Amino acid sequence: MADAAFTAEFAQAQRVEARRYALGRLGVYAFLGFFAILYLLPLLVVVANSFREMPEITQNGLIAFPRSFSFKAWPNAWAHYCVQGTCEGVHRNFYNSLIMTVPATLVSTMLGAINGYVLSKWRFRGSEALFVCMTLGVFMPGQVALMPWAFILGRLHLSNSVYGLMFVHCVQGLSFTTLFCRNYYLSIPDDLIKAARIDGAGFWRIFFKIVLPLSPPILIVTVIWQFTGIWNEYLFGVVFTGGTQQPITASLVSLATTVMNARAYDVTAAAVLIGALPPLLIYLFGGKYFVRGLTQGAIK
């Protein structure tokens, strides 16, 4: 008899517990859902508005269910829109960004890998101190480098040139890529290098045959982060170049924020998306490498 009462009480307690648990789960999902909407809203708004017609936008506002559909904002933004005196859209700026970002990413990553290899596997007296000095570049504010770079670019006849920007980013990227690669290479066992030295391999043979084949994870992370960082960079872009030489991120500012008479939200939305798309796509496809880079690099 006592058993039955106990079972009933227990079952009741179980039900309460289950309900509390379910409410808890619901709460968690609601919380996450709320923030997800908050995060996605701007993106959805921009995407939607790039496909709407301007009169409809003016009528219904930016945050509204699209009631019109048109592709024409995109070619307009790409090739026809007038910004800063020229009416060529942003395609030139887009190409500038490519010219600036791709080589700088590849060069700084390659150099970073070699530097990381030297600093982690061929330590010599003072190499730790040198590493710290190199890494300081990651934390420096760009403002401190403005005047000197302007001077140097002028001397090299690279002012107001996207190639000048490429050079700047090649150099500035070294700190970051070296930091990342060196920390990663520390995890390669030193015994491997010792065995290779006994086997008769020298500095370069060890790098190409042993270390580099082990590098794809860190190289991908470094390339992704470098590409994103250089593409999205604004300060150097706007200071060292102007007009048609500007990379797209810098040109977006004049495009999207000038208080002109009729704000063409559709075209500017499309232009902004053109500027944001490459890193976003890389993020969508390389997401896990992004995160890996975060957790490895930032906690250092």
Provide, rounded to whole angstroms, the least separation between the CB of residue 119 and another protein: 7
DSSP code, position 71 = S
Amino acid letter, residue 119: L
Provide, rounded to whole angstroms, the least separation between the CB of residue 238 and another protein: 8
Provide, rounded to whole angstroms, the least separation between the CB of residue 87 and another protein: 21
Pick out residues in 139-158 that bind another protein (CB under 8 A): 139-149, 151
- From the list 8-16, 78-86, 156-164, 172-180, the region that binds another protein by CB under 8 A is 172-180
**Which of residues 8 and 82 has its CB atom nearest to another protein in the complex?**
82
Q: Which residues pair with 83 in a beta bridge?
A: 86
Contacts of 49 by beta carbon, 8 Å cutoff, 6+ apart: 57, 62, 66, 265, 266, 269
- How far is the C-alpha of 222 from the C-alpha of 218, rounded, in Å? 6
Binding letters toward another protein, positions 76-115, x by CB under 8 A = -----------------------------------x--xx
**136 touches another protein (CB under 8 A):** yes
- How far is the C-alpha of 197 from the C-alpha of 195, rounded, in Å? 5
**196 touches another protein (CB under 8 A):** yes
Task: Collapse the DSSP code of 37 into the 3-class scheme (helix H, G, I; strand E, B; otherwise coil) and give the result.
Answer: helix
CA separation (Å) from 138 to 7, 9, 132, 179?
64, 63, 10, 9
Q: Are 253 and 68 in contact (CB under 8 A)?
A: no
**Which of residues 162 and 273 has its CB atom nearest to another protein in the complex?**
273
Pick out residues in 173-192 that bind another protein (CB under 8 A): 174-175, 178, 189, 191-192
Q: Are 296 and 187 in contact (CB under 8 A)?
A: no
**295 touches another protein (CB under 8 A):** yes
- From the list 11-19, 68-76, 77-85, 274-282, the region that binds another protein by CB under 8 A is 274-282
Among 2, 198, 260, 262, binds another protein (CB under 8 A): 198
Among 124, 129, 260, 261, binds another protein (CB under 8 A): 124
- φ, ψ dihedrals at 160, nearest 5°: 50, 45
To 5 degrees, how large is the angle CA 173–CA 174–CA 179?
Answer: 110
Pick out residues in 17-76 that bind another protein (CB under 8 A): 25, 28-29, 31-32, 35-36, 38-40, 42-43, 45-46, 57-58, 60-64
Pick out residues in 205-234 that bind another protein (CB under 8 A): 205, 209-210, 213-214, 228, 231-234
Q: Which residues pair with 86 in a beta bridge?
A: 83
